[in-house]
Structure 1
Amino acid sequence: MNILQTEASPNFGGQEYEMVLEAKELAKRGHHVILIINSKNKILAETIKQFKLNFYQLPFKNTIDLFSIIKMRKIIKKHNIEIIHSHSPKDHWISYWATLNSNIPILRWRDIINPVPSKWHRSFIYKRGCKYLLVRCNMIKEMFIKNNKINPKKIKVIPASIDFEKFNPNINGNYIRSEFNIPLNAIIIALIAQIRPEKGHKYFIEAANYLKDRPNIYFLIVGGETDKSSIRINELKDLINKFGLKNIIFTGFRKDIPQIISTIDILVLPSTDVESVGRVILEAFAMKKPVIATFIGGIPEFVLNKKTGILIPPHNSKAIAEAIDFILNNPLKTKEMIENAYDFVKRNFSVKTIVDKIEEIQNDALK
């Protein structure tokens, strides 16, 4: 099958990585996969090159960017594209205009929780502009049914997928401690996410302040900046200075996430909004690391409190600190949660299992 994947976002995060991971698996199965991405997204372009996939870059200036529409139409014709996966609003609209009056089905992915306005011109592209709407968790499906009156049969839940060759308990990341001068016997707590307000970095830092009397503990903030991150990082550093904390480290964007997860003791994802899954949670599960996460979006579908991890309310730094204390003070319960989480992710989230489901939907869309 000739497949086109499109992504207009200029940023790189879980959504973009997910697209490439699943595109690679589709290509391994003999499909001809082409990607079109934002010309500003250098990290995504580099990632696609590493996965040895073919791609084009377009500006995606807006939803009616004539240049992008014409170029996409030419790419579709050149590669005899049979089906399109679109991942963000701009590339969805460009795909829609480029395939108008054709029989090429569009599969629209939706990874984030924040609701789409119910007005007809915002709902139209989801109702009429795609064959199926593919969402990463049940909460997103229910949101579209309730807010946008989309037929439930049109919405398919396809969870995030994990590459278990890349994320597994046998990965060694000891050099991370050397790189950041962290003692071998120190406890490392990490937040791995783009620097964005809804990821809850402020509460992570406040939790570190609650635990400042606990000896030999370090806090890693792992993640790259987005277009609006510079001011945000300065605010976070001001907060750190206000508390007088010396044990918080910003690593910046990292390509070696498996090695970082391997060396940490606890993963914290204190999201406050728009989190569907938080694929780093599943990656930590796969590497047998305990997880603390907020009761936001689709996270409770995967983090089952005191079973596969610890759930806490959002906007609550004290709850983060208490959850960290619980994990450090209860090794037997923590081991039980780790094993439960590992079994859960291995059963349900392998990239092969997820792409099996994608192929079924593709075949159905072409009938």
Structure 2
Amino acid sequence: MKSLHMIGSTHMGGAERWFTRFLAAMLRQGEDVEAVVRRGSELAQHHLAGIPHHELPFRTVWDPFSRHAVSRLIARSDAPIVQTYMGRATRLTHLKRGRGKVHVSRLGGYYKLAPFRHAHAWIGNTKGLCDWMIQGGLPAERVFHITNFADPARAVAADELHALRQRIGVLPEDWIMVTAGRLIDVKGHRYLVDALSSLPAEIDGQRLRLVVLGDGDLAAPLAEQARQAGVADRILWAGWQHDPAPWFHVADMVVFPSRDAETLGNVILEAWAYGKPLVASAFRGAREITRPGEDAWVVPCDDGAALAAGIEHVIRNPGLQRQMVANGLARIERDFSETAVIAQYRALYAQLLDNR
């Protein structure tokens, strides 16, 4: 069945990246989808190759022209499922129940629920988020848990990886830690800078280096923190990467230091998919999906010293690294595969249309 997917963001972030990954997966699985994105957005300019899409103004939630454009496009579409992401697209989408189309709002975070209440059904990507929505007054029979999937690790040519290592000056004795995410408070980067400043420059003859994939409002403060801590020369601020695959391939470890408010944390799934040992903080998403000591080394949130200790412990224990990598790959296959997740969406859409 056809579905229409709407998001009103200007810039790329975790939700937007999931949007493109999800729609590409839907197409691979034989589903008929169309995207609706903000005119001139990063999504529209760089990320929708091969995905049928429309561009609308999506200016503000109070803009009558944007609301009219959304309503007109939905009325013209033959898609019975309209799925919205984030607050702007959801607030501009208003469908009356029983008129043949179903409005599904997909939440990937603990947002204020008021802008989402008028939807007909809601999807949360963690059980904790679904429980929170129900506690917030959304009807339990219309709240559904479907987790995210992990993309299979994309193969990257050896010469491309060699060129990347040359460009960033990776030496054979380097231990490369990669972290990914927007440079905003919830991602906890400041605790990772703290951790790096308390770690030795070398462990077992390996020089510790940190690569940060992402950009955001905290870029300048974090760079200044690193300078004052004396570790600026050990950090590469690589910026937002449209294709992070080469960076995950060159990594020796993935570190994900998010604060408790982080909902799921797709970087956990990426670390597993690329076969990298993972050190993560015990934010709510990690508490739900990781098995500490088995597929991830988990430390308290907001604690640079604990993060440093966890990183050092994993580096000094190759056997633990191999165990976590093997278990992480098994978790992807068993619990977070594309085929299984898309099948859950397909079944949910059919259920919602039967009950409309």
TM-score normalised to the size of structure 1?
0.89
Cross-structure match for 1:299: 286
Cross-structure match for 2:214: 223
Change beyond 3 A, Cα 1:31–1:329: closer
Structure 1 position 5, deviation (Å): 0.2
Q: How does 1:208-357 map to 2 (within 5 A)?
A: 208-214=196-202, 216-225=207-216, 229=217, 232-245=218-231, 246-357=233-344
Structure 1 position 137, deviation (Å): 0.5
Counterpart contact for 2:71–2:94, Cα < 8 Å: no
Counterpart contact for 1:141–1:155, Cα < 8 Å: yes
Q: How does 1:59-138 map to 2 (within 5 A)?
A: 59-96=57-94, 102-112=99-109, 114-116=110-112, 122=114, 125-126=116-117, 129-138=118-127
Following the alignment from structure 1 to structure 2, what is the Cα–Cα distance between the partners of residues 274 and 184?
Answer: 37
Matched, 1:159 2:147: yes
Following the alignment from structure 1 to structure 2, what is the Cα–Cα distance between the partners of residues 276 and 157?
Answer: 13
Give 4+ residue runs of structure 1 displaced > 4 Å after superposition.
none
Q: How does 1:352-363 map to 2 (within 5 A)?
A: 352-363=339-350
Following the alignment from structure 1 to structure 2, what is the Cα–Cα distance between the partners of residues 338 and 165?
Answer: 13
- Helix, strand or coil at the partner of 1:366: helix
Following the alignment from structure 1 to structure 2, what is the Cα–Cα distance between the partners of residues 343 and 161?
Answer: 13
Instruction: String of CA shifts for 1:41-72, please: whole Å, max 9, x gaps.
Output: 224541112xx112122232332322122212
Q: Which runs of 5+ in 2 are unaligned?
A: none
Matched, 1:34 2:34: yes
Counterpart contact for 1:84–1:107, Cα < 8 Å: yes
Structure 1 position 257, deviation (Å): 0.9
- Helix, strand or coil at the partner of 2:182: coil
Cross-structure match for 2:53: 55
Counterpart contact for 1:86–1:92, Cα < 8 Å: yes
Following the alignment from structure 1 to structure 2, what is the Cα–Cα distance between the partners of residues 286 and 5?
Answer: 26
Cross-structure match for 2:2: 2
Counterpart contact for 2:263–2:284, Cα < 8 Å: yes
Change beyond 3 A, Cα 1:351–1:60: same
> What RMSD over aligned residues (CA atoms) do the two structures have, in Å?
2.3
Cross-structure match for 2:129: 140
> In the alignment, residue 299 of structure 1 is paired with which amino acid?
A
Structure 1 position 81, deviation (Å): 2.3
Q: How does 1:145-224 map to 2 (within 5 A)?
A: 145-146=134-135, 148-164=136-152, 166=154, 173-214=161-202, 216-224=207-215
Change beyond 3 A, Cα 1:30–1:324: closer
Counterpart contact for 1:284–1:291, Cα < 8 Å: yes
Counterpart contact for 1:36–1:57, Cα < 8 Å: yes
Counterpart contact for 2:29–2:339, Cα < 8 Å: no
Change beyond 3 A, Cα 1:239–1:266: same
> In the alignment, residue 4 of structure 2 is paired with which amino acid?
L
Instruction: String of CA shifts for 1:74-120, please: whole Å, max 9, x gaps.
Output: 222333221101011121121116x67733101110111x3536xxx
Counterpart contact for 1:24–1:53, Cα < 8 Å: yes
TM-score normalised to the size of structure 2?
0.91
Following the alignment from structure 1 to structure 2, what is the Cα–Cα distance between the partners of residues 343 and 44?
Answer: 35
Structure 1 position 40, deviation (Å): 4.6
Counterpart contact for 1:115–1:144, Cα < 8 Å: no
> Identical aligned pairs, as a percentage?
18
Structure 1 position 353, deviation (Å): 1.1
Following the alignment from structure 1 to structure 2, what is the Cα–Cα distance between the partners of residues 150 and 174?
Answer: 51
Change beyond 3 A, Cα 1:345–1:31: closer
> In the alignment, residue 20 of structure 1 is paired with which amino acid?
T
Tell me how many residue pairs correspond in the alignment: 350
> In the alignment, residue 142 of structure 2 is paired with which amino acid?
K
Structure 1 position 16, deviation (Å): 1.6
Following the alignment from structure 1 to structure 2, what is the Cα–Cα distance between the partners of residues 84 and 171?
Answer: 43
Instruction: String of CA shifts for 1:142-162, please: whole Å, max 9, x gaps.
Output: 11122x122322111111112
Counterpart contact for 1:174–1:263, Cα < 8 Å: no
Structure 1 position 248, deviation (Å): 0.8
